[in-house]
Chains A and B, each alone.
Chain A
Amino acid sequence: MAEPARRVPPPELSEEDTAMLAGDAGEAAALCLRLVVALARVLGARRLISVDSAHVDGCLYHGMAGLDFAERLVGLGARVAVPTTLNVGSLDLLHPGLVRADAGTTTNARRLMAAYTAMGCTPTWTCAPYQLTHRPEFGRHIAWAESNAIVFANSVLGARTDRYGDFLDISAAITGRVPYAGLHLDRNRRATVRLDCAAVPRALLREDVAWGLLGHLAGQTAGSGVPVLTGIPDDVTEDQLKAFGAAAASSGGVGLFHVVGITPEASTLDAVAGPGIETVHVGADRIRAIRDRLSTARSSRLDALCLGTPHFSVSEFERLSRLLADGPGFHPAVRAYVATSRAVLDEAERRGFAEPVRRAGADIVVDTCTYITPILAPGVRTVMTSSGKWAWYAPGNIGVDVVVGSMAECVASARAGVIVRDEELWAKQH
């Protein structure tokens, strides 16, 4: 979203747009299209385009303003015009005891979630809508909010969305229109910096945690640009790309990345590289340095474990349940939380991956996430996670100290009650 705003003409509107602004589709659609047009002017868009679907992040409670906006729209009779999924809210509606928000916040968060459902959005309550059955198709325009969902849709699915946020997301859903700008345009989808990972030990790249750390580096390096990775093995998983994108979108403003030979627009480096892009060479030492910088904890004693940011997938549940099979449960002093969506939890239950996680002592949280709402038990200071995104945001959001480690290190540490490292994994060579 870095188009110049200087002296650009307002966007050309279609007949339908003009009619909608005049109120033909109702007052809510008129208000929402005015917002879309205001954004189009800022972005210097020449026109608006239609989207296939929307993913709305506005259902997470940040205060009265978001609730006032949603309830204003409901009051004006708003209905979404395209299939629309919902991001996490501030509550676990299925397990109400898990979130310890005060009564006022709980009431408002519930009202907000109800308002978005009333507008016809599907109550998916997940930051990982790409794990649901209906995925956007390659090359199609969509309007997605939530930074990790945006970067996954653009990069891994090859759909096209700009970095939308609260208010615009629901406005796009209600009008079906967005500015033709940003990552909808071919010219903004070229890579701006290359991260060559050929020197990273393959064993490290098999660990999801390494992808979160690599993503953190990519975000710092690319800013709001488009990183491209080279030297990546063929067997990279969607969970790893999820971890990479989520971290890159939080340490920087990355809305799209490419992996040569893996992601759909990057059959070759030439297919995506912008003119004269620089190459940054990444080795195990850089990845370990980021691990150590994100690990703010001074204590070796562990109070809690948080997994599932972005929401745990079925394959991650499978991996965790295997790590937990036949071993002891978690240390009695360690609280463990796994965040996921209702849909993934249903599938994990069906396939027998959820029960071993609960048996080991973990709480499975749905509809929300452990770093945006008060879930962690009082007194929790040191928390281990495999997520680069969780590690980046949790200290500021909920005031805890963090240790970053692989899923196996997380399990070993949560069992021992102290931080356990697999030093061989983090060594320079294997």
Chain B
Amino acid sequence: MGEAALTGTTLHPGEATGELLVLRAPLSFWGGTGEDGTIVDEHHPQRGARLTGKVVAMPTARGSSSSSSVLAEQIRAGTAPAALVLTEPDAILMLGAWVSAELYGRRLPIVTLALPGYRALCGWGSGPVTVVAGPEEAVVSGAPSPRHPG
């Protein structure tokens, strides 16, 4: 399979590569993830999955305004996702990434894709995905897995 690339909008700039993890339900980082980057939300279908180092795709975030702090701390501690891919801008997650970049110089890219692109990404399987989020435009690229044709 060849490389595929999707163009989106930068919510927070940065560059990262990681295995793709598509969340099947919205997630609140506060109350929904543990310090080690694992999903602990009892009600989440992927409870127990580890987000650390993954390119995490979820259509929208959910829940508490404390998620900014939780994400910032996971970035500091090295347990955060490698990158976040959303369909709608999320201010709470952006602020967590902004503060970690300001305090520690660690940049977690957050990008939004329009729905058709997001749906295509969800069909890529779990292979490595690279996110390059520039000042405005972002590119999400990878090699869609043959077992999960997009």
Contact status A147-B91, CB under 8 Å? no
Q: Which of B65, B92, B94 contacts A38 (CB 8 A)?
A: B94
Q: Report chain A residues within 8 Å CB of B73.
A: 62-66
| Residue A287 lies at the interface, judged by CB distance under 8 Å to chain B | no
Q: Report chain A residues within 8 Å CB of B32.
A: 396
Q: How far is the CA of A430 from the CA of B96 in the complex (A)?
A: 49
Would A167 and B89 be within 8 Å (CB), given that A39-B95, A250-B63 are in contact? no
Q: Report chain B residues within 8 Å CB of A39.
A: 91, 94-95
Would A68 and B65 be within 8 Å (CB), given that A63-B35, A165-B92, A224-B60 are in contact? no
Q: How far is the CB of B8 from chain A (nearest CB, A)?
A: 9
Q: Report chain A residues within 8 Å CB of B112.
A: 5
Q: How far is the CB of A254 from chain B (nearest CB, A)?
A: 11
Q: How far is the CB of B48 from chain A (nearest CB, A)?
A: 12
Q: Which of B31, B43, B77, B136 contacts A397 (CB 8 A)?
A: B31
Contact status B76-A64, CB under 8 Å? yes
Q: Report chain A residues within 8 Å CB of B35.
A: 63
Q: How far is the CA of A42 from the CA of B41 in the complex (A)?
A: 27
Contact status A68-B103, CB under 8 Å? yes
Q: How far is the CA of A35 from the CA of B91 in the complex (A)?
A: 11
Q: How far is the CB of A63 from chain B (nearest CB, A)?
A: 3
Q: How far is the CB of A7 from chain B (nearest CB, A)?
A: 8
> Chain B interface secondary structure, helix, strand, loop or mixed?
helix
Q: Report chain B residues within 8 Å CB of A166.
A: 65-66, 68-69, 72, 95-96
Closest to B136 in A: A7
Contact status B94-A65, CB under 8 Å? no
Q: Which of A6, A7, A164 contacts B65 (CB 8 A)?
A: A164
Would A395 and B62 be within 8 Å (CB), given that A62-B73, A65-B72, A65-B100 are in contact? no
Interface string of B63-99 (1 = CB under 8 A from A): 1111111101101110000000000111110111011
Q: Report chain B residues within 8 Å CB of A356.
A: none
Contact status B90-A1, CB under 8 Å? yes
| Residue A31 lies at the interface, judged by CB distance under 8 Å to chain B | yes
Interface string of A34-54 (1 = CB under 8 A from B): 010011001100000000000
Most chain B C-beta atoms within 10 Å of own C-beta, residue among A62, A64, A145, A224: A62
Number of interface residues of B (CB under 8 A): 42
- When A and B form their complex, what is the total count of cross-chain residue pairs whose Cβ atoms lie within 8 Å? 128
Q: Report chain B residues within 8 Å CB of A224.
A: 60, 62
Q: Report chain A residues within 8 Å CB of B52.
A: none
Q: Which of A57, A65, A150 contacts B99 (CB 8 A)?
A: A65
Closest to B72 in A: A65
Q: How far is the CA of A166 from the CA of B92 in the complex (A)?
A: 8
Q: Report chain B residues within 8 Å CB of A64.
A: 73, 76-77
| Residue A388 lies at the interface, judged by CB distance under 8 Å to chain B | no
Closest to A296 in B: B42
Interfacial residues of chain B within 1-58, with CB under 8 A of chain A in the complex: 9, 11, 30-32, 35, 40-43
**Interface size of A as a range:** 35 or more
Q: How far is the CB of B74 from chain A (nearest CB, A)?
A: 8
Q: How far is the CA of A35 from the CA of B101 in the complex (A)?
A: 11
Contact status B66-A60, CB under 8 Å? yes
Q: How far is the CA of A381 from the CA of B112 in the complex (A)?
A: 41
Q: How far is the CA of A309 from the CA of B11 in the complex (A)?
A: 33
Q: How far is the CB of B71 from chain A (nearest CB, A)?
A: 9
Would A63 and B11 be within 8 Å (CB), given that A43-B89, A57-B66, A396-B31 are in contact? no
| Residue A138 lies at the interface, judged by CB distance under 8 Å to chain B | no
Interfacial residues of chain A within 317-352, with CB under 8 A of chain B in the complex: none
| Residue A2 lies at the interface, judged by CB distance under 8 Å to chain B | yes
Would A150 and B65 be within 8 Å (CB), given that A68-B103, A165-B95, A167-B95 are in contact? yes
Q: Spell out A's residues near B (CB within 8 Å).
A: 1-7, 31, 35, 38-39, 42-43, 57-58, 60, 62-66, 68-69, 72, 145-147, 150, 162-169, 223-224, 250, 252-253, 296, 392-393, 395-397
Query: 7 A-B pairs, CB-CB below 8 angstroms?
Result: A60-B69, A65-B104, A69-B72, A165-B65, A165-B91, A253-B61, A392-B43
Q: A38-B95, A253-B60 are in contact. List 17 more A-B contacts (CB 8 A).
A: A5-B89, A38-B94, A39-B91, A62-B70, A63-B72, A63-B77, A64-B77, A66-B69, A146-B65, A147-B64, A162-B91, A163-B92, A165-B64, A165-B92, A168-B91, A250-B64, A396-B32
Q: Spell out B's residues near A (CB within 8 Å).
A: 9, 11, 30-32, 35, 40-43, 60-70, 72-73, 75-77, 88-92, 94-96, 98-100, 102-104, 112, 136
